[in-house]
Structure 1
Amino acid sequence: MVEERIREVFAGAGAEGLLHAVPVGTEPGAEEVAVGADEPVVIASVFKVLLVLEFARQVAAGQLDPRERVRVTAADRLGGWGTAGCADDVELSLRDLAFFAISVSDNSAADLLLARVGLDTVRLLAGELGLGGTRIVGGPRDVLESMLAEVGARDEAEFALRYPALPDDRKRRLSVLDPLRTNASTPREITRLLRLVWRDEAGPPEACAHVRDLMMCQAFRHRLVSGFPDEATVAAKTGTLPGLHMEAGVVRYPDGGSYAVSVFARTRDLAASRPVVDAAIGASARIAVDFLRAKGL
């Protein structure tokens, strides 16, 4: 059974995995691969797909000028990729914030974009798209501040000292790892979001196309991409937190077959980098898509 094979892949990597895969062009209720597809999951940076979709919709509606300039200052920097890790202030456009938020998961870019489009509008968008199990509580800055407060750290430097000394059971109780207290969804709802974007049903066609184009630019190729042959293209978005490894995207083959896949893995080890788990994400996605292709879907 395909679901059991997927569970074995994750068990071999020392992880528990949840997955949903479905052809982009089919209607709900058609053939699918589902392993815990309706269980709540932390979505971490996968939330940026919804954020950038709302940005693209506002641009298409004439509510935002994508060329509007934004300055990323020291107060905005969270560390990590893109402008979040720059040593000096950076000025760029709103559309470049969206590019960095997706392509390298730039947290500062995502925060500034969220401030411009509005948290409430992103929440309303989730409801409009029928994502009833999706919760958006805030952006990367909100996630960081919740971690600082729960650890009792005044700033990031103090957090860096306190966090490693915490016992693992205390780390696991942080709200950022609990789908009931942070940005969360289900594997099935994430593939629904992707299918709507790929079918131009999540907003104006130009907005959906913009999101698809940005997801094709993602720099990280170690999860979903690792499971598929060179001729397949993968447009995706990763998400990572201690002990949580995830990616959601659309895999397209030269024959036109396209498949929305979302994979969420949890490990007992709270390391943020686990190459064997990354490989399991790609391998499990390939098993699911191969099954759907064998069905002729």
Structure 2
Amino acid sequence: MAERVREVFARAGAQGALHAVPIGDLPWPGQEPEAAPGRPLGPEVAVAADEPVAISSVFKILLVLEFFRQADAGQLDPRERVRVTDAHRLGGWGTAGCADDVEVSLRDLAYFALTVSDNTAADVLLDRVGLDTVRLLTEELGLTRTRIVGGPREALASMLADVGARDEEEFAALYRALPGERKRSLSVLDPRRANASTPRDVTRLLDLVWRDAAGSPRACARVRELMGRQVFRHRLTSGFGDDVRIAAKTGTLPGLHIEVGVVRYPDGGRYAVAVFARSRAVVADLATVDAAIGRTARLAVDHLRTAEGAPAHRL
């Protein structure tokens, strides 16, 4: 199976890392596999699953989870309204691309951060939630290979600094002229310098959220709901039939294509999948690589379902 996954990525001009596991087959926080005899580890598909990877916007799952945990604990009011101004804007979707000031609630910032990967919404929300609390959350959940260094604003600042640009417009002009190796050396692509994790750590996070073990049931349910409303359907979703439900989060940087999520079949089978692809072409939009994410996810889930004795499922 690992060879088949690598072959799909190679044909798309990329290298991939992947981890897939049935929901419920991982130990609860604080439990090692040998300390949980009643919960043996089940089948998995692992391709470079323990290699560190830059996680880009996958970070927003942790941010929004911590936001809803604090809201559910009464530490902040999700209805609190904030004004998003030109000084906050980082470019991209949602409030990040608005031309005028926007007034919005904190919970709507969470909505934008997960559904359209709004960088400005995530940045403003992080100021309210606190970077240190997100770091503490990774420790609490046993995400031992996950490291959080900052939010979208820090990521943008590092990109500008790496090429010596003063703003996004100048960055775009300078970036186009860079050789491929120079583009691949950007800090945001380096797991030693950027927000980073491993595919296995990410599926652990998804598993905990889907089992209400990452916070209160209400907080976990809100994260699941918003991931289920993500508007981007060109990666994981492309590999599955219309009756398969997918709740996911993308991550995209030049040369880095990510999608992580939970795949739910009509028979109730649920599978956490994390796919990371680095393309040889250092650009942000490659349909062949995006399709390979869906294809490899489908291969992995089909393998898990066969191991479980689940019935075959057609596209």
TM-score by length of 1: 0.98
**Residue-by-residue CA offset, 1:171-210 (whole Å, 9 max, x unaligned):** 1111111011000000000000000000000000000000
- SS of 1:75 mapped into structure 2: coil
* Aligned match of 1:270: 282
* Aligned match of 1:219: 231
Q: Distance in 2 between matches of 1:116 and 1:182?
A: 21
* Aligned match of 1:156: 168
Find 1:131's aligned residue among 143, 153, 165: 143
Query: What amino acid sits opposite 1:235 in the alignment?
Result: A
Q: CA deviation at 1:82?
A: 0.3
**Residue-by-residue CA offset, 1:213-254 (whole Å, 9 max, x unaligned):** 000010000000000111110000000000000100000011
- SS of 1:230 mapped into structure 2: coil
Query: What amino acid sits opposite 2:53 in the alignment?
Result: V
Query: What amino acid sits opposite 2:257 in the alignment?
Result: H
* Aligned match of 2:198: 186
1:100 is aligned to 2:112: yes
Given that 2:258 and 2:277 are in contact with CA atoms closer than 8 Å, whether structure 1 keeps it comes out as yes
Query: What amino acid sits opposite 1:60 in the alignment?
Result: D
Q: Distance in 1 between matches of 2:167 and 2:308?
A: 54
- SS of 2:112 mapped into structure 1: helix
| Unmatched 5+ stretches in structure 1 | none
Q: CA deviation at 1:27?
A: 3.2
Given that 2:26 and 2:204 are in contact with CA atoms closer than 8 Å, whether structure 1 keeps it comes out as no
Q: CA deviation at 1:296?
A: 1.5
* Aligned match of 1:26: 25
* Aligned match of 2:33: none
1:89 is aligned to 2:88: no
1:113 is aligned to 2:113: no
Q: Distance in 2 between matches of 1:274 and 1:238?
A: 14
Query: What amino acid sits opposite 1:70 in the alignment?
Result: V
Q: Distance in 1 between matches of 2:126 and 2:307?
A: 41
Query: What amino acid sits opposite 2:305 in the alignment?
Result: R
Query: What amino acid sits opposite 2:209 in the alignment?
Result: V
* Aligned match of 1:17: 16
Measured on the aligned residues, the alpha-carbon RMSD in Å equals 0.9
Which runs of structure 2 are paired with 1:18-57 in the superposition (5 Å)?
18-28=17-27, 29-57=41-69
Q: Distance in 2 between matches of 1:185 and 1:48?
A: 13
TM-score by length of 2: 0.93
* Aligned match of 2:252: 240
Q: CA deviation at 1:152?
A: 1.0
Q: Distance in 2 between matches of 1:162 and 1:26?
A: 47
Query: What amino acid sits opposite 2:113 in the alignment?
Result: A
Write out the 4+ residue segments of structure 1 that deviate beyond 4 Å after TM superposition: none
- SS of 1:62 mapped into structure 2: coil
Q: CA deviation at 1:158?
A: 1.8
**Residue-by-residue CA offset, 1:35-71 (whole Å, 9 max, x unaligned):** 0000000100011000000001001100011100011
Aligned-residue identity in percent:
72
Q: CA deviation at 1:167?
A: 1.5
* Aligned match of 1:5: 4
1:64 is aligned to 2:76: yes
Q: CA deviation at 1:30?
A: 1.9
Given that 2:26 and 2:207 are in contact with CA atoms closer than 8 Å, whether structure 1 keeps it comes out as no
1:168 is aligned to 2:167: no
Query: What amino acid sits opposite 2:262 in the alignment?
Result: V
Query: What amino acid sits opposite 1:109 in the alignment?
Result: A
Q: CA deviation at 1:157?
A: 2.2
